[in-house]
Amino acid sequence: MKAEVAVVFDLGNVLLPIRLDLTYAAFANYTSYYSPEEIHHIIEQEALWVPYESGLESCDQFRDRLRSRFQMECTDSEFDHAFSALLLDFPVDVVELIQEVKASFPIYLLSNTSKIHSDRFLTNESLFSLFNQVHLSFEMGVSKPNQVIYQQVVDSNQLHNHQVVFFDDNHANVQAAWDFGWDAVLIDPSTSFTQIRNHLHQYVN
């Protein structure tokens, strides 16, 4: 007997286009010491967003830490606006895609994200109300690719006997999910919706 299938989506560059360079450039506007390219490099090399997205610090602590690291002069509101510059508009057909998938499978969201960002994108109720459950890293106390986060999704949704199909645009996240036992698919943001439909076709009876 074939296992039931559940589908787990990442958010950024899978369902929601993002451009990290816009945030790096916006941060650079508030400092005389670092270019957007240098900010990009430091954020990645020092994993500066990880503690915040893992729920290990507050919004105020995160803002203060990054303002200090890059010697930025900006208000909380200016910081939040710059930090959220990476969030683009949802594709017009994203709700249609999720409704299509939901017609065949239970669906879940699993995103490495923060309170500042989620306060902005969760306003799209027509999309997020479709998910059986929305899992956000900062609320879970852990972030991808730590396999603890995948176990939390399985346990909280009783997916132990399911084949989980997972779509993410980050190679490390996909590899960790694959090692965990999920059917994990690396998404190319330019062909995301086509990849999702094509891959799930094999699971539709």
Q: Which of 15, 8, 10, 9 is nearest to 164 (CA)?
A: 8
- Read off the pTM: 0.96
Instruction: Give percent of the chain with pLDDT exceeding 70.
Output: 99
pLDDT value of position 179: 98
Strands laid side by side in the 107-111 sheet:
133-136, 107-111, 4-9, 162-168, 183-186
Domains of the chain: 4-17+91-203 (3.40.50.1000), 20-83 (1.10.150)
How many other CB atoms sit within 10 Å of the CB of residue 56?
A: 14
Instruction: Give percent of the chain with pLDDT exceeding 90.
Output: 98
151-196 pLDDT per residue, tens: 999 999 999 999 999 999 999 999 999 999 999 999 999 999 999 9
Do residues 10 and 173 make contact, with C-beta atoms less than 8 angstroms apart?
yes
36-85 pLDDT per residue, tens: 999 999 999 999 999 999 999 999 999 999 999 999 999 999 999 999 99
